[in-house]
Amino acid sequence: QNVDLGASVRQLAGGKPISGTTPFAALFAPIPAATVPMAASQLAFYDFDRAKIQLLGTGLWQDEALLAPSARGIRGGVFAGPTQTTALTEDFTKAFNTAPHSMALQGYDVTRLLLQVAGERAWSGRDIKLLLNRPEGFYGMGGYFRFQANGLTERGMALARVDEGAFHVLQPALTMAPLPLPANLLPSGPQGWGGWW
């Protein structure tokens, strides 16, 4: 579904082209890739200095369409998304004769997780909620993820920038669970950390 950011950009601009300093340094646009070039052109229409505005997006931006010359206005935009794997792309394309959607990896990981949890529930009899909220989390094809008791999900996302002809990974996705440090793990005494060795 395309989302027109025109009304939001007009509101940011006060309804008319701006003059002088751009009133914000970043714009988060959680919109589909097909809509991102339109958002960039709307910023240009209202005279926002695109060089001074960092466009931010979601995994929906992980789409080859954003690398086309027609999407040049969003070069430098940064988004977070799951690491795409060549294996999944190749298998999906072979099976369905089309490239997978940018969210296909998450769908694959969730389906695999549900099969795993259902199998574990069948032989262990443990509560599904306990199995899903295990503190060590899970490892999917797209990396590490963990469900929290409050309903939120932690996932290792890659941070990528839209460059000319390619997505440049600025920070790879977290592929292993972060190790919590004990609260009392502090250097003590005059030797500091050296006293531990």
Each residue's pLDDT tens digit, 57-84 = 988 888 888 888 888 888 999 998 777 6
Mean pLDDT, rounded, for 93-110 = 84
**What is the distance between the alpha carbons of residues 5 and 28, in angstroms, rounded to a whole number?**
11
**What is the distance between the alpha carbons of residues 34 and 20, in angstroms, rounded to a whole number?**
30
Q: What percent of the chain has pLDDT over 90?
A: 9
Q: What is the pLDDT of residue 15?
A: 67
Q: What is the pLDDT of residue 197?
A: 41
- Contact (Cβ atoms closer than 8 angstroms) between residue 42 and residue 9: yes
**Binning pLDDT at 50, 70 and 90, where does residue 148 land?**
confident
Nearest to 79 by CA among 137, 138, 140, 36: 36
pLDDT over 90 at 149, yes or no:
no
